[in-house]
Amino acid sequence: MDLKLKSILPMFVFLLLVSTSNAKSSIYDVTSATYGGKANSDISRPFSKAWTDACASTLASKIVVPRGTYKFVGATFKGPCKAPIEIQLQGTLQAPVDGSKLSKADTWVGFERIDGLTLSGGGTFDGQGATAWKQNDCNKNKNCKSIAINLRFNFVTNSIIRDITTKDSKNFHVNVLGCNNVAFQHFTVSAPKESMNTDGIHIGRSTGINITDSIIGTGDDCISIGDGTKQLHVTKVTCGPGHGISIGSLGRYQNEEPVSGIFIKNCTIKNTDNGVRIKTWPASPSNGVVSDVHFEDIIMDNVGNPVIIDQEYCPWNQCTLKVPSKVKISNVSFKNIKGSSSSPVGIKIVCSGGLPCENVQLSDIDLTYTGNKGPITSQCKHVKPTINNVARALACATSS
């Protein structure tokens, strides 16, 4: 062996051993002797301590919550951290049934100002929200009391959430705010149809969010898209039960930011109150913009209102219908949408009288009505869509 190689080899072996040792030390198991977490007990403090150590590490770190069921009163895991962190949740975290026992009234588990987060492991965040749903009136009371969201991601970048379930949240399951380049893969939302105000994933003021190969069933919108959302891609998502996939509602508050670059493709929506939807409030306090929105290759299975733009969205008579919406909608396409409608109006495009929709395309739409309230029909208002390969009954059959 070459003399020079002989002199380098021991150093290489030493560095390899050091590297292996460091790799081991970068794993933080919340049930280890260092942190003391135990199944069937509250691991809020062990989990928070593990986060503090991992966030301070200059090496990529992994926090492990092994299989089992653990109580968790909540925490917000804050960055910035010195290196990427993976949280591998293999078990189930349970929130207190009583929301007043949470560490924060509006958040159960939060992630804030983190770059390079991975949340994985096949585990479950169980919000135990059945009691809270009966107390939640946010669907009709804009001044309602805050109720905890299962998972908040605030100003998180370059991150991935995969093979994770959120179950029975007290409020929204996931809220994404101010995030950039975040992916949800093989993500599951599970809650019954009667769960009130439990949007699956709500996105606002974020860019580059991707939701793929996921199953979302809940009591409200499977995915709700708020103001300031840009370059959102949703593919291979199954939605139902719930209220469908919605942009909005928009136009209710001052200084809302534009929504643009929304691509919903190759999804299945079944047994929901709505299909794919854009909704804005009349009497908007300020102008808004929705543009470059595309719904394509969608299967509808017993869906109410499969295709809908509603610029007269006014639940519980909380607004003035006589004043048209100031949200401008343009460059929207609905393509290759097929299946069954549980309501007789298969397509409803009701736009603002003050700002009519522009460049709306309807193409390759084939829907059948499963009920007994007459033949399937459609409605258009304040819009002149481009229509291609759509049956006459669905091609703006009625207008006003």
Rg (CA), the chain: 24
**Could you give the count of Cα atoms lying within 13 Å of 269 in the half-sphere of its Cβ?**
35
Q: What is the DSSP string of 110-162?
A: EEES-BSEEEESS-EEE---HHHHTT--TTT-TTPPP--EEEEEES-EEEEEE
d(CA 251, CA 324): 11
Cite the beta strand spans of 178-257 per DSSP E. 180-190, 201-204, 207-217, 223-225, 230-239, 245-250
Q: What is the DSSP string of 338-392?
A: EEEESSSEEEEEE--SSS--EEEEEEEEEEEE-SSSSS-EEEEES---EEEEE-G
- In 3D, which of 145, 196, 156, 142 has the Cα closest to residue 173? 196
Catalytic residue among 173, 202, 243, 382: 243
Question: Tokens 């992994």 map to which residue?
Answer: 62
Task: Answer for the pair 268, 246: CB distance below 8 angstroms, yes or no.
Answer: no
H helices of the chain, in order, are 3-25, 44-56, 130-133
- In 3D, which of 52, 58, 62 has the Cα closest to residue 29? 62
Q: CB neighbours (10 Å) of residue 281?
A: 27
Question: Tokens 């072996």 map to which residue?
Answer: 13
Question: Tokens 């925490």 map to which residue?
Answer: 75
| 243 given a catalytic annotation | yes
Query: Which sequence positions are flagged as catalytic?
Result: 243
